[in-house]
Chain A
Amino acid sequence: MTPLPEKPVLPPTYLEAVRRIETLTSEIRRDGLSAFERTEAAYAEVQELRAVLNARLLALRHRAG
C-alpha cells in the first residue's frame, strides 16, 4: 500500500489571517493573562498571520505608490 502524498501546507489567506488575529485579540482582551500565555505558545502562528497581512498592506502601498 503506497502512502498518500502529503498535502502541501498552504499559508492562510488574507481573510483567514485577519479573522484569526482578530479572534486572538478578542481572546487576549477577554481572558487576560491565560490567553496571553496561549498566544505566546502560538508565536509561530502569529508570525505567519502577520506575514500574510503585511503582504496585503505592502501590495496596496505599492499600488498606491
Chain B
Amino acid sequence: MRHHQIRGWRAAPSCQAVTRASGVQGTVTPPHPPPAPDPVRAIELRDLLGWLRQRLTGEHTVRACVLLAEPVGNGDVLLLGEADHASGSNDPPRLKARLDAAGLDALRAERGDGFDPATLVNRTVVLVLRTGLRRRFGRGAGVQAKVIALLSIGESPVEAVLDRETTLRRLRAERLPFGPGTWVEPEDPQRIAIVVSEFGDARRDIEHQLQDLEAAGLLRIDRVWAQFEGPSAERSLTDALVRVAALHAEHGLAATILARGGGPVGGFAPLNAHAVAQAATAEKVPGLIVGLGHACTSRTALDEVAARCEPTPTAAAALVRDLVQRTGIRASGALVAYEAAVQDEIEAAGRIALARAVKAFDEALHSLIAEAEQQLRSLDREMEQSLLAIAACAAEPRGPAAASTVLNVDPSPGSMGDAFSAEAPTLVIAADTGRVIAAANEARASDRILLQFRDGMVSARIEPRPHNQH
C-alpha cells in the first residue's frame, strides 16, 4: 500500500493534547504505549476526506470530448473523455458531469431552444465544470462534476469519414469479400474469439454477458488483447486480427467479437486504417461481429467490413449469447417435431389397422350371414319336402280320385273361367321335388304332381300338348 504525504497538511492535535484541553488530565490512559517516531505520519480517513473536499471543490475550464449524453432525472449526464489521444493509454480517464435542468435552460437560452445535449456526443468541447467531493450511499466518496457553462463546441471531424471511404474503396478495388452479406449464422457457436483492450470496459461488458456460458462449458472464448488508441493501435489491431485468423484456421471459430468502448472520434481512427480493415475481411476472419463505441459513435471502416455490426460491445456479446441460446431452442424444437411425427405416424398406423380390421370383420359377418341364409334355405326346402312327402303318403290310400290322372298342360296363357276356378285344386305340388307349382309355366312336362283339393289329393302326371290340338 502506498502512503501519501499531503503537502501543507497540519496534523490534528494528539490524544494527549486533547485530554489536557478538556481538563481531565491523568484520567485517560492510552491503551498502547506511544508509537515510535515515524517519518511518515498517518492521518485519519475523515481528515483525508476533509482535505480532499477542500482540494476538489472549485471551478475548472476543461477541454474534453463528450463520449455519451444520457438523460437522468431532470437533467443530463455527460460522460467526458480525453480530447486527444497522444497517451495511448489502455485505461483512458473518464469523468461524468451533470448538466441539470437549470444549466440546460441556460444553454438553451444561449444557443437556442432546439439545443440537445445529445448533439455534443463525439464533439470536442470546452466546458466550465464545478467539481467537488460527493458521498455516495454505500459506495464511499467520489468526485462529482457539474456543467456550469459550455464555452465552445468543436466541429464534427470529416477526416474520419474520408479515411473510412478511402479504405472501403480500396477493399472493393481489391475485390475482398466483406460486409453483412458475408454473415453466415453459426449453427453451434462453441468457440469464439474476442479482440478487446485488456483493461477496457468492453472486455468487462462482453465477459459479463458470456461468463455463465463459458463457465457452463457451452462456449469457449479465446481472448486476444489489442490496443485501440495511440500510435501503436493500428499495428496492434492488425496483429490481433492475424492471430484470430490463425486461431480460426486451427480451431474453426464460430465468430469473432471485436469491441471497444466509447470515445472521441479521433480515438476510432485506427479502425478506419486500410491494414486493419484488410486483416478483418471475411476470407481471413469470417463471422466478425463488431461492437464499437455506443449508439452515437460514427461508423468506421471496420463497421462496414464486419459481417455483423452491433451498436455496443454488450450488444455484440448479446448476439453471441442469443446464438448459443438458439441451439437450445433448435434442440427442443427438433425433439418436439420428432415426437409429433412419430405420434402422427402411430396414429395413422392405428387408423389403418383399425380400418383393415373393421373391413375384415364386415366381410366375415357378411359371409356368415350368407352361409346361414343358404343353410336356412336348404333346411327349409328339406322340411318342405319332408312335409309334402308325409302329406303325399297320407293322401294316397284314400279319396275318390286316388287314381293317377294324366293332365294335359296348355302352356298358353288364358282364363279358364270362374266355373273352373271354383273346381280348381287348392295346391299343386311337384311330387318328386316337393316344390309348390304356383303358375302354369312352372310345370314341366312328364313331371309327377300332386293335386291337393279340398276333399282330397290326386296324383297326376303332366304331358305336353300341342297348342293347336283343341
Contacts and interface: CB of A to CB of B under 8 A. Distances in A.
Interface stretch (B156-164, B324-332, B417-425, B461-469): B324-332
A25 B337 contact: yes
B59 interface: no
A48 to B, nearest CB: 13
B349 to A, nearest CB: 6
Contact of B331 (A28, A29, A35, A53): A53
A63 B218 contact: yes
A25 B338 contact: yes
Interface residues of A, number: 27
Interface string B169-187: 0000000000000000001
Nearest to B186: A15
B365 interface: no
A50 B339 CA distance: 11
B332 to A, nearest CB: 6
A51 B329 CA distance: 15
A24 B337 CA distance: 10
A23 B352 CA distance: 25
Given A63-B212, A63-B213, A57 B188 contact: no
Contacts of A35: 345
Nearest to A40: B342
B87 to A, nearest CB: 39
Contacts of B188: 13-15
A59 B216 contact: yes
A36 B339 CA distance: 12
Contacts of A46: 338
Contact of A53 (B213, B324, B335, B342): B335
Given A14-B331, A60-B324, 7 more contacts: A13-B188, A25-B334, A25-B337, A53-B334, A60-B328, A61-B328, A63-B213
28 contacts: A13-B188, A15-B187, A18-B187, A18-B334, A21-B335, A22-B334, A22-B337, A25-B334, A25-B337, A25-B338, A28-B338, A29-B341, A33-B345, A35-B345, A36-B342, A36-B349, A53-B332, A53-B334, A54-B331, A56-B218, A56-B327, A57-B331, A59-B217, A60-B218, A60-B324, A60-B328, A63-B213, A63-B218
Interface of A: 13-15, 17-18, 21-22, 24-25, 28-29, 32-33, 35-36, 39, 46, 50, 53-54, 56-57, 59-63
Interface of B: 187-188, 212-213, 215-218, 324-325, 327-328, 330-332, 334-335, 337-338, 341-342, 345-346, 348-349, 352
